[in-house]
Amino acid sequence: MKRARAKFYNSDMADLAHQLTISPRRLRVEQIRAIEGLLQIIEPSRAYPFEFVCYGITKYRKRGACAASASIPGTALISDLVVTAELISRKASLNVDELGEPHRTHQELAEDLQVSTKTIRRWRNRGLMGLRVVFEDGVNRLVFCKRTIARFVLQNKSLVNKGASFRQLTSAERSQIVERARELVEERPLKLHAVAKLIAEESGRAIETVRYTLRRYDESEGNEAIFNRDGKSALCERHLSIWRCHQAGETSASIARAFDCSTEDVDAVLCRVELIKYKEQPPEFVHNELFDAPMADALILDVEEPPAAGRSAPRIPKDLPAYLRSLYLTPLFTREQEQDLFRRYNYLKYKAAGLLDALEPDDVTPDQLGPFRALLAQVDSLKKRIIQANLRLVVSIAKKHVGWSPNFFEVVSDGNISLMRAVEKFDYARGNKFSTYATWAIMKNYARSIPESHYHFTRYVTGLDQVLDATPDHRKEPVSASDRQRVRALIEESIEQLSEREREIVTHHFGLAQPEETLTLEQLGNRLGVTKERVRQIEQRALGRLRELLAPSLVDALAG
């Protein structure tokens, strides 16, 4: 396994450490003791020139005039010295006997100081110098000399005492912290730091410990998280229950009685939940430079709408369903009207998005949320007008794709959804008519959805019944079982009159020989050595011949 590269805060210290690793091995112990001497006098709050550090370790001072290097902050220097000592001890492969003084291993020191091994690793950045030495069993281990331990404890009494008094959280304590945080958030919206501070004061734990515990819980629970990524309180189950009751039509007074709180508390919760849900799906708009103008309201909203075109009443075709007849009663927009409506529509969403960003869920009030709701109501009104005026376009496109088929209204409904999406994405500033853009969007959707539904319909219909459905049927009464058997016999006789290749394609594609085994056009093409398109052409020709052969025979058979 590749060893991780030693991390230095100062590049001069990194170069010095490299030079020390290639110095004579007999100097390593002296260099390590010199580093220990520097750690004893360096103060974290001060800065030290690199020349001072270099001379303290190597007893070498560079001669000649040269620009002094930048000073090294004490905190960074302490960490770099510890890393240097560990690096040169590892490179020298020092034996444990060469230390010449008592020492403790990583685990032994943690037991002596009554802290965790993780705490010992953190203290190494604070000046607890460790050395890598080879033990009698040939294993390289990290050890701490007695002199180093004594120096570190003397310099960091409060830190060592605090670490010794710390104990790991039990599962019960973690659960208590989580439940207390949930209670505080249900009482009133609070941020993560505020909740951690309150719980730390109550439990005597460090604020960071409480915050870390809550963060870990939120990461593991996901949907039941207490706080979101920004540290703000998420929606709790109590608030969601109040919201669901409101959505079901319950009044604030009845909800307050059910949840044993005041109507003001209920209204505050409802505003908060509503705003959070709006923020989860903010208004999307097509931006225009005009929206940022100082007088945008006067230029967009305060002007009169363009007049409608003076057109006569449209001629409504006869025998149309009521829904289609109603579409002709809505007049179409002129180009000027269309531009004005889309400009207003996107600008109102632009204003709503800006207002939404300025609102905070934790302290929002009904008065603050009112203007945002009013903007959304205007947006919905404009969107309905645009959609209503273009529903006739969907019907026209659907009729071209499927005609007056049984699933016509299903296709129209699918097209209406595409129309709604097109309203959201249309950029009026490009100069195109909306009908052009909407037609492209609807046809693109039909090109994907209609072939899929046709494939699903044809893929799972096999056998003689499909060949029978391909023939014209002018009978008004249902076919009896005996008639169906006679028709099947006629189909089999007619198939015998086809050419060998036509008969093979029809038989295997429709599963006439073995109904459970049908071949696709591509499989038949591979079998016959032709393309899939050529197989389809042969199949259509064969079905046409069958219609000609079966038409008079069926009439005679059913008449008898």
Question: Do residues 509 and 524 touch, judged by C-beta distance below 8 A?
Answer: yes
Architecture of domain 464-559: Orthogonal Bundle (1.10)
Asked whether residue 374 carries a pLDDT value surpassing 60, the answer given is yes
Quick one: tokens of 59? 């007893």
pLDDT of residue 559: 44
pLDDT of residue 462: 46
| Comparison of pLDDT for 191 and 471, the residue scoring more | 191
Distance separating alpha carbons of residues 128 and 145, to the nearest angstrom: 10
pLDDT of residue 476: 45
N residues, the chain:
560
Express as a percent the part of the chain with pLDDT over 90. 19
260-280 pLDDT per residue, tens: 888 888 888 888 888 888 888
E-assigned strand segments in 111-229 = 131-134, 140-145
Distance separating alpha carbons of residues 143 and 124, to the nearest angstrom: 12
pLDDT of residue 475: 41
Distances from the Cα of 207 to the Cαs of 203, 211, 230, 241, 246, in angstroms? Answer: 10, 6, 17, 31, 37
Tell me what the pLDDT averaged over the chain comes to: 81
pLDDT of residue 516: 61
In the structure, how many helices (H) and strands (E) does the chain have? 25, 6
Distance separating alpha carbons of residues 60 and 47, to the nearest angstrom: 20
Distance separating alpha carbons of residues 38 and 58, to the nearest angstrom: 12
Asked whether residue 545 carries a pLDDT value surpassing 60, the answer given is yes
101-154 pLDDT per residue, tens: 888 988 888 888 888 788 888 888 888 999 988 888 888 889 999 999 999 999
Quick one: tokens of 478? 């249902």
In the Cβ-directed half-sphere of 274, how many Cα atoms lie within 13 Å? Answer: 17
List alpha helices for 284-365, DSSP H. Answer: 296-300, 322-327, 335-358
Q: Of 300-309, 412-421, 491-500, 533-542, which range is least confident?
A: 491-500
Q: Which residue has the tokens 């008449």?
A: 559
Asked whether residue 6 carries a pLDDT value surpassing 60, the answer given is yes
pLDDT of residue 447: 78
Q: Across residues 437-454, what is the average pLDDT? A: 76
Q: Of 82-96, 291-305, 494-508, which range is least confident?
A: 494-508
Q: Of 54-68, 98-112, 347-361, which range is least confident?
A: 54-68
Say if strands 103-105 and 131-134 run parallel, antiparallel, or are unpaired.
unpaired
What is the reported pTM? Answer: 0.50
pLDDT of residue 481: 59
Q: Which residues contact 501 (CB under 8 A, 6 or more apart)?
A: 528, 538
Q: Of 142-146, 183-187, 192-196, 218-222, which range is least confident?
A: 218-222
453-476 pLDDT per residue, tens: 544 444 444 444 454 454 444 444
Instruction: Give whichever of 126-135, 227-236, 446-455 has the largest mean pLDDT.
Output: 126-135
List alpha helices for 26-170, DSSP H. Answer: 28-41, 50-58, 74-92, 106-113, 117-123, 146-155, 157-165
Asked whether residue 353 carries a pLDDT value surpassing 90, the answer given is yes
The CATH number given to 289-454 is: 1.20.120.1810
The confidence band for 4, taking pLDDT boundaries of 50, 70 and 90, is very low
Distances from the Cα of 210 to the Cαs of 114, 162, 220, in angstroms? Answer: 22, 16, 16
Phi then psi for 487, rounded to 5 degrees?
Answer: -65, -40
pLDDT of residue 336: 92
Nearest to 81, CA basis, from 29, 33, 129: 129
| Comparison of pLDDT for 484 and 522, the residue scoring more | 522
The confidence band for 99, taking pLDDT boundaries of 50, 70 and 90, is confident
